[in-house]
Amino acid sequence: MDVIYPYSIINKKIKLSLVFFCVALFFNCVKKKSSEDIHVNYNNGKVVSVEYETEESSGYTFHLKQNDQSPILGNLTCEKGTCTFIPIVAFTAGQTYEIRKNKKTIESFTIDHSSKQKNPELIAIYPSMDTVPQNLLKMYFVFSHPMQHSKSALDFISVFDNTAQKESDIFLEMETELWNKERTRLTLWLDPGRIKTDLIPNQEKGPPLLQKHCYTISIDSLWTSEQGYPLTRKYVKMLNVVGKDLQRPNPKLWEVNIPKENTQNPLEIRFNEPMDAVLILETIQVKNREGELIEGTFSLLENELKIEFKPEEKWILGNYSVHVNPVLEDLAGNNLERLFDTDLSDNSMDTKSTENILNFSIEH
Amino acid sequence: MKKFILPTLLLVLSLYGLSSWTTNETSEDLTANFIYGDPEIGSINALSFGPEGILFVGDSENAMVYALDTKDSSEKGNGDEINIRKFDQMIAASLGTTEDKIRISDMAVNPKSKTPYFAVSMEDGTTVLLRLKDEALENVSLKGISYSKISLNDAIDADAKDKRGRPQRMWAIADLKFHGDRILVSGLSNKEFASTFRSIPFPFTDSQDQTSLEIWHAAHGQYETHAPIKTFDVVSLNNQDYLMASYTCTPLVLFPMAELENGKHIKGRTVAELGAGNSPLDMISYKKEGKKYFLMSNTNRPVMRLDYEDIADFKETLTKPVTEFAVATGVPYDNLPFPYVQQMDNLDDSNVLYIQRTGSGELILRSRSTKWM
């Protein structure tokens, strides 16, 4: 209850037909104050309680406007002529509520939208590149604000196959949506059962993406933030589908650009294919000859094809190594240890173990 | 065959011990380490009842499992007959909002009091726990309640030990069930394509003696992967417990519970196919005319019914390596005339409670006799 906005958001909406009733009520038992006497208390932009003055201390219930369902759940306490109602969840912006006594509406008020909040933006979609392998496994959608919890993400995402000129449902519908803790990054899987060769979903519906097809992913502007504010605009992402990626990430094929001694220039690593934008930043470490972690910052560049590591302190002469956690995946979900779609009976498949340590030396 | 005698014997002994434990353990024993206060639940992603009205809550946001003492432990033989139309509107109205701003994330019926509980997520992320008594919704306060909790991040996890403060690995809790004296939890990663399955003893201990393992499954002729589990149940076939798990890419797989050991990768056996574009939502078991059945609600298919005997017939192949493509049809199942069932649980011994989106778009909460299922 840190901020109080008295009066300003109250919208008096008493119907004329109720006036006589209210006057009668006034003279009978309830000395009702006008709606201007209702105080709406905010906490972090949410309406957490409502206060009003009355000489009656019981029998009041709160309802949605013109709603015959049971009263709103909450806690009503009255003391010294002031009643405070604390709903179990904050009142909804834009919604009108009624205070009733003996099933009769005696007051109503509307919750304003807070002017402090901003519309969310979709700030990144990974993979950044439009050209993707046919066996692309997942996509990330990164937002500027925490997004709403009540509706399914796929209610706001549609995919159109421009080549076949029809709608396409490439994403796996999940009851448990995969968000980060802050609810600003959503992970969507392309249906894994359709990607894997010869699984029943694959046989029945074919792969989610078809080679040489072009898709438009549309993100609806009606998608709202936690605070109920819609995206600033509709967003569109194109996918141009090429052949399957049937190779595991292989650090031995990465190009390493080694900085000079006594500088803080970044260590540059260029991959031979785009990497998973989230995993790459969490699966790579730089260590010195003693195996101690070098503190610094990684930056992902050039459509996830390059990463830079800027150390907190200057490089000193000696041997170093880049360690890659084998769970790192490429766009097709292949990690350092296995292909996502593996036919163990096919000896020609890529099944050799992959080195996950790259050694380098800082020189003069 | 010999190698299965010992595990089976151990299982029988443990089941015997378990049954005596269950009957002897009192509510006071189970809640001895509970504290009263605000457990600070971030989100409710899964609900499951244990004994004595103890409700287990899976919280993906905080990677926690909570045990809540609902104090709702009075014994009731049968559940009330329930038929509520526009149930989402009823919940929304009681929370002072409209049905487009709420989501019923899970439902569980207290097997002792037969009271249904609902986890509801608001648009802004606020989580509410409601229960239905005498056709009226009650709030179960999550701010002042007797509880204990355990962190899923306390398991050995490279990311959790990251000194540079990078984000910990996030496991979205896909499903949670109480079985015997343990909480079973399946989780999905929001990054790599992987899953965990954990078995946590209850009451929770200070040492957090929990097992953690990843499950591998082999299916469809030699295609093998880490496949995330979406939902699961424990079924008893021929006096042995099996984990019946549904996967993101392969439908129903059985694992012998006795083989779920810490850190061990085990292989399961596909027993049923559901077809493309469909995901199981809830699984329950029930008895009808002396026979046991297994019910499963789905995103894009009607409720499916499997006969326990049909599942048991697969036992000969369960422990053998999967070497042939012989599971295209799997265990036969019946489609019951209940499409779009979003939540489902046993109401009592002879009734099922479910939430269904009807053809007209209405969301109903309804009980139904298993006689008709």
Put simply, whether A46 touches B (Cβ < 8 Å) is yes
DSSP A265: P
Q: How far apart are CA B168 and CA A278, in angstroms?
A: 12
Question: In this structure, are B238 and B318 located in the same domain?
Answer: yes
Residue of A nearest to B42 (CA): A181
The Cβ of residue B154 has, within 10 Å, a number of other Cβ atoms equal to 13
Beta-carbon count within 10 A of B131 CB: 20
Pairing relationship of beta strands A235-242 and A131-133 according to DSSP bridges:
parallel
- Residue B86 sits in the same domain as residue B221: no
Residues of chain A with CATH 2.60.40.1220: 122-242, 251-362
Is the same domain home to B186 and B44?
no
Please indicate whether residue A22 or residue A320 has the higher confidence score (pLDDT): A320
CB < 8 Å from B in window 48-77 of A = 62-64, 67, 69-74
Closest CA–CA distance from residue B289 to any residue of chain A (Å): 33
Hey, is the C-beta of A167 within 8 angstroms of any chain B C-beta?
A: no
Q: How far apart are CA B124 and CA B105, in angstroms?
A: 14
Which residues of chain B does A61 touch, with a Cβ-Cβ cutoff of 8 Å? none
B139 token code pair: 């709030």
Cross-chain residue pair B276–A201, CB shorter than 8 Å:
yes
Q: How sure is the predictor about A347, in pLDDT bands with cuts at 50, 70 and 90?
A: low
Q: What are A48's two structure tokens?
A: 């957490």
pLDDT at residue A212 is higher than 90: yes
Report the candidate in B228, B229, B279, B303 with the shortest Cα–Cα distance to residue A173: B279
Closest CA to A160 of A116, A98, A220, A72: A220
pLDDT tops 50 at residue B23: no
**pLDDT band at B132; cut points 50, 70, 90:** very high
Residues in B touching A46 (Cβ below 8 Å) = 124
Percent of chain B residues past pLDDT 90, beyond the cut = 38
Q: Is B62 helix (H, G, I), strand (E, B) or coil?
A: coil
Q: What DSSP assignment string belongs to A209-245?
A: S-TT-EEEEEE-TT-BBTTSPBPSS-EEEEEEEES--
> Which of A72, A187, A295 is nearest residue B95 as measured by Cβ atoms?
A72
Is position B9 within any domain? no
Kindly report the number of other CB atoms within 10 A of residue B289's CB atom.
6
Q: Which residues between 107 and 126 in chain A have a beta carbon less than 8 angstroms from any beta carbon of chain B?
A: none
Q: Which residues of A touch B122 (CB under 8 A)?
A: 89, 149-150
Please say if the pLDDT value at position A204 is more than 90.
Answer: no
- What's the residue count for chain B? 373
| B127 compared with B244, residue with greater pLDDT | B127
- Provide the domain count of chain B: 2
Q: Which residues pair with B150 in a beta bridge?
A: B65
Burial A287-326 (b: 16+ CB within 10 A, else e): eeeeeeebebebebeeebbbbbbebeeebeeeebbbebbe
Alpha-carbon distance A316 to B128, whole Å?
55
Please give the class, per CATH, of domain A122-242: mainly beta
Q: How many CB atoms lie within 10 A of CB A27?
A: 9
Position A26 pLDDT exceeds 70: no
pLDDT, residue B170, reads 59
- Asked whether residue B318 falls in the same domain as residue B173, the answer is yes
CA–CA separation, A274 vs B333, rounded Å?
A: 43
In 3D space, the residue among B138, B123, B148, B113 whose CA is nearest the CA of residue B41 turns out to be B148
* CA–CA separation, B125 and A1 (whole Å): 19
- Which of A67, A89, A278 lies nearest to residue B93, judging by beta carbons? A67
Confidence of residue B223 (pLDDT cuts 50, 70, 90): very low
DSSP state of B34: -
Class of domain A251-362: mainly beta
Q: How many CB atoms lie within 10 A of CB A128?
A: 15
List, in sequence order, every residue forming a beta bridge with B65; answer none if it has no partner. Answer: B58, B150
What digits encode the pLDDT tens for the residues A44-82? 778 889 888 887 777 889 999 988 888 999 999 888 888
Work out the minimum CA distance from A311 to partner chain B, whole angstroms.
Answer: 13
CATH number corresponding to A3-110: 2.60.40
The amino acid that residue A96 corresponds to is T
> How confident is the model over B8-20, as pLDDT tens digits?
444 444 444 444 3
Cβ within 8 Å, pair B122-A95:
no
Domain holding B209, by residue range, is 158-339
| Beta-ladder partners of B28 | none
Residue A73 to residue B137, Cβ atoms within 8 A? yes
Sorting pLDDT into bands at 50, 70 and 90, what band is B4?
A: very low
- Sheet of strand B291-298: strand arrangement: B280-288, B291-298, B304-307, B334-335
* Peptide bond preceding B111 in cis form (omega within 30 of 0): no
Domain boundary among B130, B151, B172: B151
In the structure, what pLDDT confidence band is assigned to residue A346 with cuts at 50, 70 and 90?
low
Query: Phi and psi at residue B259, in whole multiples of 5°?
Result: -90, -5
Question: pLDDT confidence of A5, banded at 50, 70, 90?
Answer: very low
β-sheet with A122-126: strand ranges across: A122-126, A138-143, A185-189, A178-179
| Secondary structure letter of residue B146 according to DSSP | E
Q: Is the pLDDT of residue A364 over 60?
A: yes
Question: Is B364 domain-assigned?
Answer: no
Count Cβ–Cβ pairs < 8 Å, chain A vs chain B.
202
The angle at the Cα of B94, spanning B90 to B100, to the nearest 5 degrees, equals 60
Same domain, B215 and B309: yes
**Interface check A145 vs B, CB under 8 A:** no
User: Which one of A62, A64, A114, A150 would you mutate to disrupt binding with B, by most B Cβ within 10 Å of its Cβ?
Assistant: A150
CB B109, CB B351: distance < 8 Å: no
B315 by DSSP, 3-state: which?
helix
Distances (CA, A) of A299 to A279, A296, A313: 13, 10, 16
Peptide bond into A207 cis (omega under 30): no
B159 closest CB neighbour out of A46, A146, A282: A282
Strand partners, B237: B240
Q: Which pLDDT band, with edges at 50, 70 and 90, does A98 fall under?
A: very high
Q: Does B290 fall in a domain? A: yes
How distant is the Cα of B13 from the closest Cα of chain A, in angstroms?
A: 36
Q: What stretches of B87-158 show up as alpha helix (H) in DSSP?
A: 87-94
- Does A63 sit within 8 Å of B248, measured CB to CB? no
Tell me the three-class secondary structure of B275-308, residue by residue: CCCCCEEEEEEEEECCEEEEEEEECCCCCEEEEH
In terms of Cα–Cα distance, which of A318, A312, A251 is closest to A290? A318
Residues of A within 8 A of B253 (CB-CB) are: none
How large is the greatest C-alpha to C-alpha distance in chain B, in angstroms?
Answer: 63
Q: B192–A193: do the CB atoms touch at under 8 Å?
A: no
Chain A residues with beta carbon closer than 8 angstroms to that of B225: 196, 338, 340, 342
Cβ contact, residue pair A149, B248, below 8 Å: no
Banded pLDDT at A12 (limits 50, 70, 90): very low
pLDDT single digits (tens) B293-324: 888 888 778 888 888 888 877 654 433 433 33
CA distance B185 to B344: 18
Residue B290 vs residue B259, higher pLDDT? B290
B221 confidence band (pLDDT: 50, 70, 90): very low
Alpha carbons within 13 A on the beta-carbon side of B160: 11
Sort out which chain A residues have CB atoms less than 8 A from B94's CB and list them: 69-73
Q: Residue B185 falls within a domain, yes or no?
A: yes
Residues of B in contact with A338 (CB under 8 A): 225
B183 and B295 housed in the same domain:
yes
* Rounded-to-integer distance, Cα B142 and Cα B139, Å: 9
Chain A, 265-304: which have a CB under 8 Å from a chain B CB? 276, 278-279, 281-282, 293, 295
- What is the DSSP track for A325-339? -TT-BBTTS-BSS--
Q: What are phi and psi of A253, to 5 degrees?
A: -95, 0
The residue to which tokens 């792969």 are assigned:
A207
- Residue in A with minimal Cα distance to B119: A150
For the range A170-173, what are the long-range contacts, defined as Cβ-Cβ under 8 Å and sequence gap of 24 or more? A170/A208, A170/A209, A170/A215, A171/A139, A171/A208, A172/B248, A172/B279, A173/B277, A173/B279, A173/B299, A173/B300
% of residues, chain A, pLDDT over 90: 58
B373: distance to nearest CA of chain A, Å? Answer: 24
- The answer, for A105 touching chain B at a CB cutoff of 8 Å, is no
Distance, in Å, from the CA atom of B95 to the CA atom of B139, rounded to the nearest integer, reads 10
